[in-house]
Amino acid sequence: MSSNKKENDKDKGHHTPVSIPKAEWDSSMLELAQSQFLKAAALMDLDENIRDRLLFPQRTMIVSFPCRLDEYSDVETVFGYRVQHVLTMGPTKGGIRYHEDVNLGEVSALAMWMTWKCSLMHLPFGGAKGGVRINPQKMSRPELQRLTRRYAMEINNMIGPDKDIPAPDMGTNAQVMAWIMDTYSQQVGYAVPEVVTGKPVVLGGSHGREEATGRGLVYLIKEAADHLNIDLNKSTAVIQGYGNVGRHATHFLDELGASIIGISDVSCALYNSKGLNLHEVNDWLEKNSVLQGFPNADEISNQELLELECDVLAPCALQNQITADNAPYIKCKILAEGANGPTSLEADGILADKGIFVLPDILGNAGGVTVSYFEWVQNTQEFSWTLEKVNNHLHKILVHAFQRTLVRSQRDKIDMRTAALIEGISRVAEAKLLRGVFP
């Protein structure tokens, strides 16, 4: 905590003043999630009572807690969230995001998308999401561990294998899940691997979970390409983001013979019209950790990357990337959303007019939560599946969801996002009606 001594000693530690959330619900992401939902609700003529119940999450929790930094006298106040959108379908499910922009509205939007995603995949879960408003890149490993354990304690009563099962999301990974699993297990006195998914395999994680989101996205790109008569072996692809989703999607697209002409990470975007050599890229990243400076490609801006002419464009980074401003200049045939919420509602209309085929986020990135479901099933049955079995089941579930969405989109003449949302919303609405209102 600041003291006069600290005031004079600013170089030590990296204490940042607490950022006070002025408007927790005020989030463009929540506005987007709600407008997408209301558009689908109107088209499907959703019961008004059910519509209003689904516009906001059923349970939300905001916690503020202390995190001791490596500089022992520095204690930062941190805000954390856990949101459960729908409790009707079974336990709630969704990742935990560490990012400096996280607020209640953003986490609620992400939880709502998890509900539709799980329902579209026919998984027995409602949607949830968690978040902590910090920049994990600025924290040391011991700081991250202390932060994670304290956050896990703060939400300890809200989570549980039959209640709410966290997983990784942006800024978190298998190690963070291991710390949460350990913290939870310490409280009950025995190991509870099934309280989180996306764990390291040795702690009960599933084979194939790490790469599942990227792999699933590429399974769906293959379905979309077959539908549009695009030969992926002769295609070009651009991937925005080289984190867990983007990196694996790039790898699997390359395996199918697509020429990867553009990629990006936080440092820059790269373009090579003849296709990037991924071995060279990965070697470079091992030594330099960021893409910037990679010799065998041109550095371009993020905007230029998104506007490259290509067969497949996969936004796998942040939300709000394709908007009314740049949608007119998007020149891909398939837009494959690996990120959550990368496209605005106005952009959706523009892309539809341009005839771009969209694999919407709740379908495109559903491979992650689907293998998370397999992980939870394996843990509760104390039985482990082979990678082959995981991938076969993943493929079956994703292709089935793709087909249902495509049929609805063609039959009702609506875009793929709205079709996917209606698929998801209608099962939740049916379940809510069947369960009725208590008391």
Q: In this complex, which beta carbon is closest to ligand GLU, that of residue 85 or of residue 93?
A: 93
Q: In this complex, which beta carbon is closest to ligand GLU, that of residue 125 or of residue 284?
A: 125
- Residue 95 contacts ligand GLU per CB under 6 A: yes
Site size for ligand GLU (CB under 6 A)? 12
Report, in Å, the least distance between residue 423 CB and ligand GLU: 16
**Binding region for ligand GLU (CB under 6 A) out of 89-97, 246-254, 328-336, 402-410:** 89-97
Q: Give residue for tokens 């109107």.
A: 42
**Binding region for ligand GLU (CB under 6 A) out of 2-10, 84-92, 232-240, 362-370:** 362-370
User: How far is 146 from 163, CA to CA, in rounded Å?
Assistant: 24
The token duo for 342 is 């990368």
**Binding region for ligand GLU (CB under 6 A) out of 75-83, 90-98, 231-239, 288-296:** 90-98
User: How far is 1 from 69, CA to CA, in rounded Å?
Assistant: 10
**Binding region for ligand GLU (CB under 6 A) out of 78-86, 91-99, 308-316, 344-352:** 91-99
User: How far is 346 from 340, CA to CA, in rounded Å?
Assistant: 16
Q: In this complex, which beta carbon is closest to ligand GLU, that of residue 262 or of residue 341?
A: 341
Which of 206, 240, 340, 391 touches ligand GLU (CB under 6 A)? 340
Report, in Å, the least distance between residue 139 CB and ligand GLU: 20
Query: What φ, ψ does residue 325 adopt, rounded to 5°?
Result: -70, -45
Q: In this complex, which beta carbon is closest to ligand GLU, that of residue 104 or of residue 369?
A: 369
Binding string, residues 290-329; x marks residues near ligand GLU by CB under 6 A: ----------------------------------------
Q: How far is CA 390 from CA 161, 312, 338, 368, 419, in A?
A: 20, 26, 20, 12, 27
Report, in Å, the least distance between residue 167 CB and ligand GLU: 3
Q: In this complex, which beta carbon is closest to ligand GLU, that of residue 291 or of residue 314?
A: 314
- Work out the angle at residue 333's Cα, subtended by the Cα atoms of residues 329 and 334, and round it to the nearest 5 degrees: 110
Closest CA to 319 of 365, 262, 351, 271: 365
- Residue 169 contacts ligand GLU per CB under 6 A: yes
- Work out the angle at residue 170's Cα, subtended by the Cα atoms of residues 164 and 171, and round it to the nearest 5 degrees: 105
- Interactions with ligand GLU, residue window 403-432 (CB under 6 A): none
Q: How far is CA 416 from CA 21, 44, 401, 405, 423, in A?
A: 35, 14, 11, 7, 10
**Binding region for ligand GLU (CB under 6 A) out of 246-254, 342-350, 364-372, 377-385:** 364-372
Q: How far is CA 224 from CA 194, 335, 389, 412, in A?
A: 34, 10, 23, 18
Binding string, residues 190-229; x marks residues near ligand GLU by CB under 6 A: -------xx-------------------------------
- Residue 39 contacts ligand GLU per CB under 6 A: no
How many helices (H) and strands (E) in the chain?
Answer: 15, 12
- Residue 365 contacts ligand GLU per CB under 6 A: yes
User: How far is 130 from 155, CA to CA, in rounded Å?
Assistant: 9
* Cα dihedral value 157, 162, 168, 169, nearest 10: -80
Mark whether 117 is an active-site residue.
no
- Residue 93 contacts ligand GLU per CB under 6 A: yes
What's the Rg (C-alpha) of the chain? 22
The one catalytic residue in 39, 117, 129, 199 is 129
Closest CA to 83 of 68, 101, 62: 62
For residue 29, the number of C-alpha atoms closer than 13 Å in the C-beta half-sphere is 23
- Residue 172 contacts ligand GLU per CB under 6 A: no
Q: In this complex, which beta carbon is closest to ligand GLU, that of residue 198 or of residue 262?
A: 198
Q: What positions carry a catalytic annotation?
A: 129
For ligand GLU, the binding residues (CB under 6 A) are 93-95, 167, 169, 197-198, 340, 365, 368-369, 372
